[in-house]
Structure 1
Amino acid sequence: MEVLPHDAHRFVRSAMDHTGRPSLQSTSPASPNSPEFYSFQKLLRDIYQSSTISLQRVDRLKRHVHMVYTLRTADNSVFTLKCQPSRNTHLLRHEQKSLETEARVIDLIKSSSRLPVPQRISFDVHTINSIGAPYLLRSYLPGTPLSSLPLYLSPAELSSIDRALGSYFFSFTQIRKNTFGLVDRVHAGTGHQTWSEAFLSLLEMVLRDGEDALVSLPYDSIRYHVARHKSLLDQIMVPSLVPLEAGGPRNVLIDERSRQVVGLLGFSTAVWGDPMLAGVFAGASESFWEGYGERPVNDRPHCIRGLLYCLYRAAVGVVTQYYRPGQGDEENEARRSLVWVVNKLNTV
Structure 2
Amino acid sequence: MPSSRTAVPPRQHLTSLMYALPVRRLKEILIHVFPNETLGPIEELKSSQLARLYSLTMSDDRKLLLSFAPSLSVHLLRHEAAILSSEAKLAYFITGSDQNRELQKPSSRQDAPVPKHTALAALVPKILKHASNNREMAYPYSIFEPTLGVPLSTISIYLSLPERRLIDKQIGLMARALASLTPPSSNFGAVSRILPDPFSTTPTPTELETKGSKLWSEAFHGLLEGVLRDGEDKAVLLPYEIIRAHYKRWSYHLDSVLVPRLVVLDISNDRNVMVERGLDEEGALKAPAEGVRLAGLRSWSQGVFGDPLLADCFDNPSESCLEGWREGGQDIIEDEDNAPVRMLLYRCFRAVVTIVTEYYRPQSDSSRRELEGRRKLTSALAEIEKLGTTVSDAPKRTRSVASDAGGSKRQKVGPRN
**TM-score normalised per structure 2:** 0.72
Can you give the 5+ residue segments of structure 2 that lack an aligned partner in the other structure? Answer: 1-11, 99-118, 196-206, 279-290, 388-417
* Amino acid across the alignment from 1:338: L
Partner of 2:227: 206
- The superposition leaves residues 45-77 of structure 1 with CA deviations (integer Å, 9 ceiling, x where unpaired) of 243345x41322322334331222111223211
The secondary structure found in structure 2 opposite 1:255 is strand
Confirm or deny that 1:185 pairs with 2:188. Answer: no
Partner of 1:330: 369
Among 247, 258, 268, the alignment partner of 1:247 is 268
Among 348, 352, 359, the alignment partner of 1:311 is 348
Among 363, 381, 390, the alignment partner of 1:342 is 381
1:218-237 to structure 2, matched below 5 A, reads 218-237=239-258
CA distance in 2, matches of 1:251, 1:207: 24
Confirm or deny that 1:87 pairs with 2:72. Answer: yes
Aligned partners of 1:162 and 1:287 also within 8 Å: yes
1:42-61 to structure 2, matched below 5 A, reads 42-50=28-36, 52-61=37-46
Partner of 1:69: 54
Confirm or deny that 1:176 pairs with 2:182. Answer: yes
Confirm or deny that 1:262 pairs with 2:295. Answer: yes
CA distance in 2, matches of 1:30, 1:225: 48
Aligned partners of 2:151 and 2:273 also within 8 Å: yes
- The superposition leaves residues 132-174 of structure 1 with CA deviations (integer Å, 9 ceiling, x where unpaired) of 2210111112212111016622222222112211111111011
CA distance in 1, matches of 2:129, 2:181: 22
Aligned partners of 2:189 and 2:304 also within 8 Å: yes
Aligned partners of 2:175 and 2:267 also within 8 Å: no
Partner of 2:126: 119
CA distance in 2, matches of 1:108, 1:67: 23
CA distance in 2, matches of 1:140, 1:251: 14
Partner of 1:100: 85
Structure 1 residues 222, 97: CA separation in 2 closer, same or farther (over 3 Å shift)? same
Aligned partners of 1:99 and 1:135 also within 8 Å: yes
Partner of 2:109: none
CA distance in 1, matches of 2:385, 2:22: 54
* Amino acid across the alignment from 2:363: G
Can you give the 5+ residue segments of structure 1 that lack an aligned partner in the other structure? Answer: 1-8, 11-27
Structure 1 residues 60, 265: CA separation in 2 closer, same or farther (over 3 Å shift)? closer
Partner of 1:3: none
TM-fit CA distance, 1:29: 8.5
The secondary structure found in structure 2 opposite 1:276 is helix
Among 161, 165, 188, the alignment partner of 2:167 is 161
Aligned partners of 2:257 and 2:334 also within 8 Å: no
Structure 1 residues 301, 146: CA separation in 2 closer, same or farther (over 3 Å shift)? same
RMSD between superposed Cα atoms in Å:
2.5
TM-fit CA distance, 1:307: 0.8
The secondary structure found in structure 2 opposite 1:327 is coil
Structure 1 residues 233, 249: CA separation in 2 closer, same or farther (over 3 Å shift)? same
Aligned partners of 1:151 and 1:256 also within 8 Å: no
* Larger RCO, structures 1/2 (Cα 8 Å, 6+ apart): 2
CA distance in 1, matches of 2:179, 2:20: 44
Q: What number of residue pairs does the alignment pair up?
A: 321
**TM-score normalised per structure 1:** 0.85
* Amino acid across the alignment from 2:386: T
